[in-house]
Amino acid sequence: MTPTTQQLNDWDKQYVWHAFTQMACYEPLIIESAEGCELIDTAGRRLIDGVSSMWCNVHGHRHPTIDAAVTEQLGKVAHVTNLGCSNSTTIQLAKRLAELTPGDLDHTFFCSDGASALEVAIKLAFQYWHQCEKPQPQKTSYIGFEDAYHGDTIGTISVGGIDRFNAVFKPLMFPVERLPIPDRRLPTRAASCQHHLNTLEETLAQHHESIAAVVIEPLVLGAAGMIVQPEGYLRGVRDLTRKYNVLMIADEVAVGMGRTGTMFGCQQEDVVPDILCLGKGLTGGYLPMSAAIATTQIWNAYLGDYSDAKQLCHGHTFGGNPLSAAAAIATLDVFEQEDTLAQLPAKIERIKQQLSHLAEHPHVGDVRQYGMIAAVELVKNRETGEHFPWSERHGHQVCQFALQHGLWIRPLGDVIVIMPPLAVSIEQIDTMCRVISQAIDHVTLSKASLP
């Protein structure tokens, strides 16, 4: 017997433990199906998927090419281990990634999600310095950034910097060299890039002998509130890591797969990291899969006789899963077949145009955008920059209004995130931005006028 919507709501609240959610306050939104860039809930309500189902749906839901690829793979094999074994689909995906990624990022370690890819990258960098051509085993620390987010494993929260997520776990975390968030607005837009690079170089000059790697989200720090880095900063980070003989780990779990307008964010500034981490959109948002992709220099440090014990002792049960690999290959096929990247400039410009009027809103502190990533930051007082009390959840209220008007989005505190599928139409962009504007007015202006 098919459960009713009310039964599903009750069971959802009782049996499902949702991520980053106070379950005592949780109100269910249950999605029954999806089509294109829209989600359909159990009541039949259609919602524009304004955050790509947590930043990972690239070509829309139920894309026929990806559906067909997964179905075809089901007729072959759904899962085989990659421990001492392989499968043809995953092999072809690894080759495809080697051809697609910049430089000699030719060697892919498959994982299950973004956090696990970053965990692998952290360990790869650590072990590399023990067994590279000129070993430097004292390189055991990392450089991370304030408010950076790389996942929720012990390793990734250690290199991450969001205190409200990590505070309770501090006794479990290892120390890192933590730098201020590289915000293009600080100290001024004109001086920002050199200021933040100077800060990085001061740290590298002092600690490079003990630093294994810099871990960075290229171009945009996602969970920090979609903070955009100054132009040229990523290129400068790559130059400084080479100067001081430190590895660079690029976390492109959020910004990769076309989000910035190029397939990989690093390509915007002609950067080849030592390890590139992908996730989220790698399978078009269909199935769990991520990847830590290393250069040949990293790869070679792990080669040797069995008795050398140089192999990476790390693995995931579903690493390299054939179904996920099939979805990933199909996702890359769609990029080519639909010329997805060539369609983005018009959409990027439309988002910019639609959000431009919010820049002067009395309760908007900043409107920022990089490619198909955009954010609107709410403030209590635009002139002073004073924020609303966090407990009032203005960002959440804006998203609730949007939900009632056909748009599904999620906030980061009082930052409204806009990250639709790359396949979103111009008309859907217009609707999405109009609803967000109305929601901000409703939450901030209508309440401000009340006695």
Write the CATH number for 362. Answer: 3.90.1150.10
306 and 231 within one domain: yes
| Shared domain check, 257 and 243 | yes
The encoded tokens of residue 436 equal: 């967000």
**298 and 194 share one domain:** yes
**What pLDDT score was predicted for residue 447?**
58
Beta carbons of 228 and 184 less than 8 angstroms apart: yes
Q: Which residue type is seen at 332? A: L
Which residue type occupies 386? E
Range of the domain at 425: 5-59+339-448
Question: Tell me, what's the pLDDT at 285?
Answer: 96
Name the domain boundary from 275, 308, 337.
Answer: 337
Listed as ranges, residues in the chain with pLDDT below 70 are 447-451
149 is in an annotated binding site: yes
| Count of structural domains within the chain | 2
**Residue 302, burial from CB neighbour count under 10 angstroms (0-12, 13-18, 19+):** middle
**According to the annotation, is 76 in a ligand binding site?**
no
Q: How far apart are CA 53 and CA 399, in angstroms?
A: 14
Domain finish residue from 337, 362, 396: 337
Distances (CA, A) of 89 to 107, 253, 330, 357: 16, 22, 11, 47
The continuous run of DSSP H or E covering 130 comes out as helix 114-131
**Tokens found for residue 45:** 């309500």
Q: How would you write 164-203 as a 3-class SS string?
A: HHHHHHHHHCCCCEEECCCCCCCCCCCCHHHHHHHHHHHH
User: Is residue 115 a known part of a binding site?
Assistant: yes
207 annotated ligand binder: no
Helix (H) or strand (E) holding 227: strand 227-228
> Are residue 350 and residue 332 in the same domain, yes or no?
no
79 lies in the same domain as 43 = no
Q: What pLDDT, on a 0 to 100 scale, did the predictor assign at position 160?
A: 95
Q: Is 21 known as a binding-site position?
A: no
Are 172 and 237 part of one and the same domain? Answer: yes
Amino acid making up residue 339: D
| 315 marked as binding residue | yes
Statement to judge: residues 258 and 120 lie in one domain: yes
- Report pLDDT digits (tens) over 418-451: 999 999 999 999 999 999 999 999 999 875 544 3
Contact in structure between 410 and 369 (CB atoms under 8 Å): no
DSSP string covering 373-402: EEEEEE-SBTTTTBPPPGGG-HHHHHHHHH
The verdict on 333 and 344 lying in the same domain is no
pLDDT tens-digit map of 158-197: 999 998 889 999 999 999 999 999 999 999 999 999 999 9
CATH code of the domain containing 218: 3.40.640.10
Mark whether 53 and 75 lie in a shared domain: no
Backbone angles phi, psi at 127, to 5 degrees: -70, -30
Helix pair angle (322-337, 88-100), 10° resolution: 40
Q: Which residues, in sequence order, are CB contacts of 128 under 8 Å at separation 6+? A: 212, 247, 298, 301, 302
State how far the Cα of 382 lies from the Cα of 365, in Å rounded to an integer: 5
Question: Could you tell me if 132 and 247 lie in one domain?
Answer: yes
Residues 50 and 95 in one domain: no
pLDDT the model gives residue 1: 85
Q: Of the residues 290, 320, 337, which one is the last residue of a structural domain?
A: 337
433 vs 357: CA distance, rounded Å:
11
Dihedrals phi, psi of 290, to nearest 5 degrees:
-140, 175
Q: Label residue 316 exposed, middle or buried (CB < 10 Å: 0-12, 13-18, 19+).
A: buried
- Report the Cα 188 to chain-centroid distance in Å: 26
Cα–Cα distance measured from residue 416 to residue 421, given in angstroms and rounded to the nearest whole number: 16
Residues 389 and 422 in one domain: yes
Q: pLDDT tens across 8-51, in order?
A: 999 999 999 999 999 999 999 999 999 999 999 999 999 999 99
Predicted confidence at residue 450, as pLDDT, reads 40
